[in-house]
Structure formats: structure tokens, C-alpha cells
Structure 1
Amino acid sequence: MSPSAVVSDSATNHNTSNNIYTQSNATLAPSESKSNPNFLPVLIHVADAGNDRDPSPNQTALMRKVKGLLEVSKHLDHSPESVTPQCKAVVSPIRRIPTEIWAMIFVECLCYEDRCFIEAERDEAPLNVAGVCQRWRGIALSTPSLWSSIAITRTPALDNSYPRRELVSLWLSRSAPCSISFSFTIDMVRRESNLSALQDLWAGNKQNSPDQEALVGELLCCMSRWKSVQFALPFLNGYDIQTGAPLLERVKVIKGVVQSWSSFDPFIHRIWEDAPRLRIFSLRDDSDWSSRYEKDLLPVPIRLTELEIDYDWPFILCWLVLRESPELTKCNFGRFCGIDESGSHLPPVFLPKLHSLTVTSTIHSFDHGETLKLTKVLSLITAPNLKKFEMQWDNGYVHEPFMTFIARSACALTELLILSVPIPKREMKEVLEAISGSLKVLKVEVGSTGTPFGKDLLRSLTWRGPNEVFLCPNLERILLGRSAIGKRDSFFIRMVESRWHVDNGRVRLKEVEIQTSEERGPPPGFDQLESYRGEGLKLQVDYDWDVEIKSDTEGEDSD
């Protein structure tokens, strides 16, 4: 029996007996394989079939036959024109990988890194894996999870987007029925439009082009599949939302134009009413501060676990939002304004699950000489499980509300970050004494407002021996602005060295970072610590800060 007869017979009847398979191995001659004109087309057919889809029983039988033929044809001509290389391609192990495994591999190829959404790039998944071969393309197009995330950026003129609307439409259809995550933001980096387009955008004179409005309509049609969404205004333009978002978990809204919230607030409230899974909400206003108090977020959903609000809002509104969010675990309140005595009569809100809190004031208020007293916000909160606290831009630091908050909450803070807050030396020491046992990360940057780390405090942080008590024994990372230690460089260096040499099972200092300017440079003697870098101590100097250090002669002996 000739080789072609064996292959043809197995193609029509996959139940061919093993006797015929043995006979094909026994009767094959090299000359027959080289001279038979029907052998190559059959092999090409098998190779193409196996490449298009998973091997069927018939194709599996053929592949076994080809493998047997290869065993007895080891001495055939191995030139590119010969049959043997194509035979080997047919029986390659990669053809036996199931579709489900390929789909899992393709999903693992998605490159998120620091991005929350997938960018449509030709050299990245899913577009690159869909262009390899016919079988891979078929698997990619039939795997909805590959297409369940996309990043869309509009030009400042709001007349175009990347990727184009046609590709976004395909992306959305390929993701069905999976949930979909997307960002729909304005590209301020490429700046494809001219300066006048940017000025019109910032002035609020721009609206989405008809093509972009059609794209918004397509995104809204998929609202029932939304999972995580981020968009920059303008987004809506008179759409009547008829459906909810039952799968929605995260929403981030960016307002980068001077645009009224009147048409947007109802949309947010509609989402809150029909999004039972919503847990994370973020609202950031990057426009100017000419329209204070016009946002209306009440009532907020009581299911929120993470809340980030970065726009001008008054003291009383903060209390109302906290009262309606008892499940919060992470909270970031930015750009406070209107902090006065109006909230002094309000009882603190009990937030048992809150573990991260950040409060920031309106930076522009410094230009108008307004004293904010940001620490008064802490009188609104009781957080017994708080682990991380960060405070920024408080030009009217009040010590009593901060200490009362720590005492009332009885929380074991592990991270404390104080940036651009003029906290005096004595008050800084009292704060550290109150949280000494639990603190692991300390970051203090006060700019030119003072030097909170006096000699007495640096001595208290210095380890002096196995039986000596010192502040913050579990401290692992310390990040200080150059001005935070003033002229007390030798005390700071001695403190770092001592905490690197602690023994008796105590926690070692692992990282030291100094924020300074190019003009000032690191503290004198900082190079002495370089010898510990090879032993594992991480040292870093950040030159991004323009630090101005005052003469710091007052109180030098009274620390």
C-alpha cells in the first residue's frame, strides 16, 4: 500500500485499524515518498485544518499517521522543498494546545502595569495576538475578556479620539457579554489641536463633535455592562438614561473645563440608585475655583468603601457625606474651603472600618491670606482602625483637634504624612509620643514654615542601647524635607546610624529619603551613610523640592 493510500484512507475513515497503521510504516520507501504527487496536498490540508481550529478525531488520526511516516523517513531529503519539514509542522506539540489554554495565555498577555485600562496598541495584546495566524485570531475574537477594557482619549478640540470610534464599536461588541471597563478622557499631552482649541476647552466653549457624541451614545448603550469607568467632562449632552448599571464597581469623574454640574448631577444620582455593586467613587475638579458650592452629591450611596472628593466644598458638607458613608475604608478629602466654627457643634461620625484618611485644603487660599485650620476637620471623625493619615496644606495648624482626634480614636497609626503644615517642634514630639508604638512610616515636609525636628526630638528618636527607651521603635521608613531638620544635620545622621545598628530583635530602619533642592543638596554628613547602602539601607535624595531653610537660630538651646 502506498503512503498516499494510507493517508487518504485515514482521512475518510478515522477508525482505520492499527494494522493498517503498522503496514504503512513497514511498506514505506523513501523513493515512494519523494515521487508520490498526492502526498504533499494532503499534508497541507491537515496542517491548515489543525491551524484553524482544535484537531477533530479525523485530524488526530491523520496526525498520528504522519508521525508514523516521519519515523521511517528520517533519511529523506530535508531541503525546504521536501515533505519532511511540513510533516514535522503538522505534528508539532503546539497544535495540540486546547483553545481554552490559548485563551488563558492571551488574557495573561494584557499589559496593565500602572494603567487601569488597556490601550489599543498594535504591538500589545489583544491586537498583537489577534494578528498572528487564523487560529489565534479566531480564539482572540471569541474570548470576550480580552476586549473588556479600553482607554479612549479625545483631542482637546473634542472632534476626534484614539482609537477611532469604529474600533471602539468593534471592541465593545467583542467584549459582550462580559462586563466592560473604559476611560473616556481628554488628551492634554499630545495636544494635537492648536492653542485656541485648548483655550476654548478651558473656557467651557467646547462640546463633543457629532462623531464623539455618537461614541458617547454607544458607551451609554453598554451601561448595563459597566464595571469600572473613568470619564472627563463634557460627557453627557442631554441623554435620557433609561437603564442602570448593575455591575458597576468604580466611577471616576474628572472636570477639566468650566462647565455647570446641573446636567451631570442627575446622571450621578441615577447611577447611585441603580448600581448595587458601586463601592469606589472619585470626583476631581481641575477647573478654576470660581464656582464653589455648586455641586450636590447628597445623598451618597451608603455602600461606598472608597471615596475621593477633590473640589472646593464646605465643612458642613463633609460631615453630611461622612454620616451617610459608614462602610468607608479609604477616604481622600481635597481642597477644603469654608472651614470655620460652623461645625464645632457637630458630633463626630463613627467610621469603624476607615483605615486611610487624607485631608487637603485649597492651595489657592494661601494667595489670599486665608487661614484654613484644616485640622478642625478631624473633629468630625472617630476612626478606631485608622492606619494611615495624611495632611497637606494647612497654614493654620491647630494642635488640640489633632491630639483629641488621636486620643478619641485610640487608633494605632502605622503611617503619618505631614506636608506643608507648620507644626512646631514641641507639638511634633507630642504627636509622635502618642503614636510611638505603632508608627512604621514617617514623612514630614514643611517647606519654609519651620523646623519641627529639634535636637530634643532627634535625641528621642535615637537608639542608645538595649535597655534604653526611644521613640518609634518600629519605624522602618523616614522621609524628611531638608528644612524639617534645619541645621541639626549631625543629630539627624547620628539618629539614622543608631537605628541601623539596633539589636535585640528590634526593627531596623530600612529607608531614608531627603527632599531638597539642587542648591541646598543633602544634609552635610549624609555621605557618611553611603557605607550602609551595601548592607541593605536604602538611601534616596529627591531634588524636586525648592527648599528654603531659615537661619534657625531661635530655640537652639531650648529644644
Structure 2
Amino acid sequence: MHPVAVRSTTTEPVTMDMMLSWQDEETESHSDIIHRVPDEVLALIMWHYVYESDIQLRAKAPFYWRDPHPSYRTTYISLICKRWRGIVLSNPCLWSQIHLAWPKDIIRTHLERSRAAPLSIGINRESIAFGSFHDMKDTLSDMIQRIESINVQYYGVADYLWGDGPTKEVVTWIRDILGNGLSIPASNLSFVHVIYPDYVLPIQHHDLGHLPRLADINFLGLSLKSTLPDPCRLTTVKAHSSDLTLDNILSFLRSSPLLESVEFKHHAAEAYTQCAEEVQSTLNDTISLPHLKSFRLSWANTMFMETIVRHCSFPETSAVRLSILRDQETSVIESLPETLRNILPSSTVLNLSIRRPFVREAFVLEFQAVDSARYQVDFNEYTLASAQDEDEELSTSFCRQLRVKEATVLFGELTKLKFPALIDLTIWARCLRDVTLICIRKLLRAFDRVQKIALYTLNADRFVTALRPTASYPNPCPSLQSLDIRRCRFKASHVGNILTERMEWAEKLQLLQFTMDGKIWKCKKGQSDTGIVHRLYKVADRCQPQGGDWTESSPGSDSSDGWGWD
């Protein structure tokens, strides 16, 4: 196999120390072995050492201080010995990755020694600032038929601090390539990533028909109205656009049957209104996407998303993420597209996240049924945003009350749906301790067959209390096998008593996981932590305590997890 077609499957990077060890003077057998290795195998090893799947890494300092800078890798291995130099010079593919942030003499050397090999070009901020792109642009344009990959990354902290963006020269060159504006078509181009702040340039339409090999494109300036190659080989598409109408999205998906990863996002606030108005599609057939692995669309209203979901056939192995803009005074479940509302009760897995106030994705439902894709649906915040418009300073207690109110409504809606097949439940909700015990009990009744429950909340006591039998619900969650309350505050004696009582009418838990926070866990009557853990071991076949902080005692836990109040 030619080295240029090989991609590394190892997790450990190949270092020069590993290569030089083969020529250890203290062990002649090493030298004998390396001399018996065929040239083709050595070339393959060299390729794994030189190649980076992300070409931007070839412009960064080496991870190991003893290694040469990535720009010198190929030159460095050519200096090991005469035989190695011959192998390096006779394999142009080893010189085919070129980053324009390198010194210009190294760039020219790689261009010369790569001969007719397909090229991968990397461009970043330094490439432009130091003039390398300007100096090499015409040369690259003349050999555009050799270029198979272009990766432009102009996206970092400095870009945001100074409002900086790529020069017009770079963007114009990319647009000329996509729009067939060069004297020679880029007929071998398969990979185009142009990453920059999405406020820099307006969206433009392109005729991509002259790019028959195009498979992976990440370009914020790409319009879905662009003409695609026929046949279309696109497998990966990421586009932030202001013209994401229903017909454009559906036509694009229909024209790209090989798609594996798709991400569409409205990048302008005006697009939200457009989504709410244009919800009628003239297309009625079902679009099959048999190779799809991931699909993401944000943001649009419920009717828009319903049309997309209804027209597309997503494989059972795919992950679909939709970000929905709720209508005013509309609950989470009411905002869920009808097709997904019909799938939700059949779910075997359900992850429910209720996040802190003023987070764009305020509520998240992630679920999967036996014969459906795995869906993650984000819902925006509107209640607190509306209140903030009237009063800029909202108290923490006011925010908590509103969030608890919406959480209670959500739990009530889920209770009405029933979930006969649900076996795996995860709840992320800091506000869970403020939801009434009656509401939680009703929720658990809807999840009657659940086998695994994981909680991420401030205090797990109230939820665990809901597992205690009552007259109206004598056997809550009788099939429960695993309970995970890690990072949650809880009263050990209370949890121990309830789980002990459960063993009188239900099977013993197979697994109990919790966090021991030594700074907070105060034991009564001098009982040690070890004694409490020993008691909890009796309520489960396996008990897994772990050290660490409970959520409310962990500094910065709110910002890292995104579901706190503060």
C-alpha cells in the first residue's frame, strides 16, 4: 500500500527516539534488524512519523522537546543515513504536507521534492502575517490540480479580542477555487476547511460542479444554494448560513446520498424569523441517508424541525441533534416536533438536562428507541430572557422559582406520556431538590420499568425518598438495579434505610455509586466514614464510593457543568 493512502491507527505518537533506538550502538542486533526491513515498510513507518491528520499541528511546537519542529520532520529523517535519505527522496508523498507558516525555504523544498504527489496545504494567522501566503499564492494556483486538501484556520483568542479576521486575499483565493475562478480547475480537491469568525464575510453561492472529488467541506461562507457535483461525493458538511430554508436543506440532503456528518446552523439572528415563517415544503418524498453518522441543525422553530424529521430517514446508528426555538409560553414537550413526540415514549434511554438560567440550551432531551436514531433536542430559554427585558437585575431566588416551575411542568408532561420500555434514566437538574416529592413520585411511576438511574443534582435525598413505597404507589421502580448519585449531597443513614426497606419487596441493587465528600459529610455519634460505607455495602451487590467534592461544595462546578444556579 502506498504510504500516502495510509492513516495512522496508533494512539502513541512515533518519536525520533523510537527510530534512533533501532541503531543503538550497544546492540548490533538492532542494526541487523533495521537493515532487513524492506524499503516499503520503512517508508510506511516514516509516513506515520511525518503525517498529521490535522495539518495545523505541523505549525505548532513539538510535544516532545527532543523532537524536531514538525516542519523539519522529513528533512530530519533524511539525515539519519544514506539508505534512509534515498527512501525519503524517492517517496514524494513524505513531502506532500505543507504549512505556509513554515520558513519559506522549507516550503520551497517540500514543493520541489513532493514532485507530482497530491498536496495538503495548511494556512493560519502566521502564514498571512509573515507574507508566506502572498508570496506563494500564484505558485499554489499554478499547481491547483495537485492540491487535494486545504485547511485555513484563522480562529483564536486574538481574533475575538481584536475583531480580526482573515485577509481578503485569502478568502478571495478560496472563493476563486470553489467558484472555478482560477485558470485551472481544482479537479482533485477533496477537503476544504476554512475556519474563521462567522461575522467576517457574507454568504455566497458557488458552482461546485467542477470539484468532482469534493468530500469534506467546512466553510461558514457556503450557501446551500450552491450547485453540487454530479455525482456528489460529499461525506462531511459544516455550513453556517443565513439562507437555510426548508427546500434548500432538503434539496441539499437529497443531492448528497453519501453524507456521514452534517451540521447546519443559522448564523444570523434574522434567520430565526425566517424559520418561523417558511415552514411549508413543496417536497413530499422521504430522503434516505444510509451512511449518516451525525446530523445537527440549529436554530429553528418546531414546525421547521418537524418537516425535516418527517422527510429524512435517519439510520438507527446515527446521532441527530436539533436546537429548537420555543414559541412564547410554550412548554418543552409542546415544542417537541410531533414525530419525535411519538418516538419519545418508546425510548429505552432518556437523558434529561435542566440547566442554569440564561443558558441558550436551557433544556435538553436526549433519547433513543429500539428502532430509531439517537436524538438530542435542545430548547432555548425564553421565560427568564423576557423577564430580564423588563428588569435587568433578577434575583437568584426569582430565577430559581421560574426554573423550578418549568421543571415541574416538564415532569408533569413526561408523567402523562408513560415510558413502558425505558430502562436507562439520567437526570441533570440542580433544581431537583426544590421539586415537590409528589411530582417526583409521579415521574417515577411513568418510568416504572427503569433499571438504571443516574442523578446529577445538589441533594439526592428527596429523589431517593420517592423510591419508598406509598399507598398510591406501593412498588416504585421495582426493576431498579443501578443507582448513581455521585457528586450529590445525601444523608447516608436516610439512603441506607430506604434501600434496606426496598429489599423486602424488590431485588437488591446490583450497583450503588456515590461520592464521599470529607469536608461536608459529618457523621453522627462519632461514626466514621468507613462505618457508613460499610452499611451502604449491605444494600447493593457492588458499592462504589469515590473521593471528591459534592456539587455544591466544588469550586467552579457550576461553570464546568453548566447546570448550576450561579
TM-score of the pair, normalised by structure 2: 0.53
1:490 paired to 2:464: yes
Separation of aligned partners in 1, 2:35 and 2:120: 33
Separation of aligned partners in 2, 1:432 and 1:181: 53
Separation of aligned partners in 2, 1:452 and 1:216: 66
Cα shift at 1:129: 2.4
Distance 1:500 1:111, change over 3 A: farther
Separation of aligned partners in 1, 2:79 and 2:275: 58
What is the CA deviation profile of residues 383-429 of structure 1, one whole-angstrom value per residue up to 9, with x for unaligned ones?
Answer: 24253122346344563662325659998335333445568234556
1:141 paired to 2:89: yes
1:181 to 102, 120, 136: 120
1:323-338 to 2 correspondence within 5 Å?
A: 323-335=254-266, 337=272, 338=274
Cα shift at 1:257: 6.9
What is the CA deviation profile of residues 209-242 of structure 1, one whole-angstrom value per residue up to 9, with x for unaligned ones?
Answer: 7542222333333322333322254424466412
Task: Report what 1:59 is aligned to.
Answer: none
Task: Report what 1:156 is aligned to.
Answer: none
Separation of aligned partners in 1, 2:82 and 2:57: 23
1:284 paired to 2:232: no
Separation of aligned partners in 2, 1:148 and 1:534: 54
Cα shift at 1:546: 4.4
Cα shift at 1:103: 0.9
Task: Report what 2:298 is aligned to.
Answer: 360
SS in 1 for 2:263: strand
1:173-322 to 2 correspondence within 5 Å?
A: 173-186=112-125, 211-232=132-153, 233-234=166-167, 235-237=170-172, 240-256=181-197, 259-261=200-202, 265-266=205-206, 269=207, 272-284=208-220, 295=223, 297-301=225-229, 302-316=232-246, 317-322=248-253
Separation of aligned partners in 1, 2:436 and 2:46: 53
| 1:417–1:444 Cα contact (<8 Å) kept | no
1:340 paired to 2:272: no
Distance 1:395 1:139, change over 3 A: same
| 1:252–1:282 Cα contact (<8 Å) kept | yes
2:236 maps to a residue whose letter is E
Separation of aligned partners in 1, 2:426 and 2:142: 47
2:561 to 538, 541, 545: 545
1:172 to 101, 107, 111: 111
| 2:485–2:514 Cα contact (<8 Å) kept | no
Cα shift at 1:305: 3.0
Separation of aligned partners in 1, 2:148 and 2:35: 35
What is the CA deviation profile of residues 94-122 of structure 1, one whole-angstrom value per residue up to 9, with x for unaligned ones?
Answer: 33433222112212324647x36551552
| 2:411–2:443 Cα contact (<8 Å) kept | no
Cα shift at 1:278: 1.8
| 1:299–1:324 Cα contact (<8 Å) kept | no
Task: Report what 1:201 is aligned to.
Answer: none
Distance 1:211 1:546, change over 3 A: closer
| 1:416–1:441 Cα contact (<8 Å) kept | no
What is the CA deviation profile of residues 489-527 of structure 1, one whole-angstrom value per residue up to 9, with x for unaligned ones?
Answer: 437999xxx89974xxxxx89xx798xxxxxx6454699
1:91-130 to 2 correspondence within 5 Å?
A: 92-110=32-50, 112=52, 115=54, 119=58, 121=62, 122=68, 125-130=73-78
Bigger Cα Rg: 1
SS in 1 for 2:514: helix
SS in 1 for 2:184: coil
Aligned pair count reads: 386
Separation of aligned partners in 1, 2:280 and 2:209: 32
Separation of aligned partners in 2, 1:102 and 1:253: 34
What is the CA deviation profile of residues 272-305 of structure 1, one whole-angstrom value per residue up to 9, with x for unaligned ones?
Answer: 21222222222236xxxxxxxx957423444423
2:307 to 362, 379, 392: 379
Distance 1:349 1:87, change over 3 A: closer
What is the CA deviation profile of residues 112-137 of structure 1, one whole-angstrom value per residue up to 9, with x for unaligned ones?
Answer: 47x36551552554454234333323
SS in 1 for 2:561: coil
1:357 maps to a residue whose letter is F
Distance 1:89 1:425, change over 3 A: closer
Distance 1:118 1:260, change over 3 A: closer
1:425 paired to 2:440: no
| 1:182–1:228 Cα contact (<8 Å) kept | yes
Separation of aligned partners in 1, 2:436 and 2:219: 34
Separation of aligned partners in 1, 2:546 and 2:285: 40
Task: Report what 2:356 is aligned to.
Answer: none
1:13-52 to 2 correspondence within 5 Å?
A: none
Segments of 5+ residues of structure 1 without an aligned counterpart are 1-84, 153-160, 193-206, 286-293, 362-371, 463-468, 503-507, 515-520, 551-559
Task: Report what 2:440 is aligned to.
Answer: 455
SS in 2 for 1:358: strand
| 2:209–2:228 Cα contact (<8 Å) kept | no
2:411 maps to a residue whose letter is K
Separation of aligned partners in 2, 1:171 and 1:229: 16
Separation of aligned partners in 2, 1:126 and 1:106: 8
1:360 maps to a residue whose letter is S
| 2:298–2:323 Cα contact (<8 Å) kept | yes
Separation of aligned partners in 1, 2:55 and 2:340: 35
Separation of aligned partners in 1, 2:89 and 2:541: 51
1:379 maps to a residue whose letter is T
SS in 2 for 1:109: helix
| 1:428–1:452 Cα contact (<8 Å) kept | no
Cα shift at 1:143: 2.0
Distance 1:100 1:404, change over 3 A: closer
Using the aligned pairs only, state the percent identity.
Answer: 15
2:84 maps to a residue whose letter is W
| 2:224–2:252 Cα contact (<8 Å) kept | no
SS in 2 for 1:340: helix
1:99 maps to a residue whose letter is D
Distance 1:331 1:87, change over 3 A: closer
Segments of 5+ residues of structure 2 without an aligned counterpart are 1-24, 63-67, 154-165, 345-368, 382-405, 469-476, 493-511, 516-532, 534-539, 552-556
Separation of aligned partners in 1, 2:466 and 2:135: 61
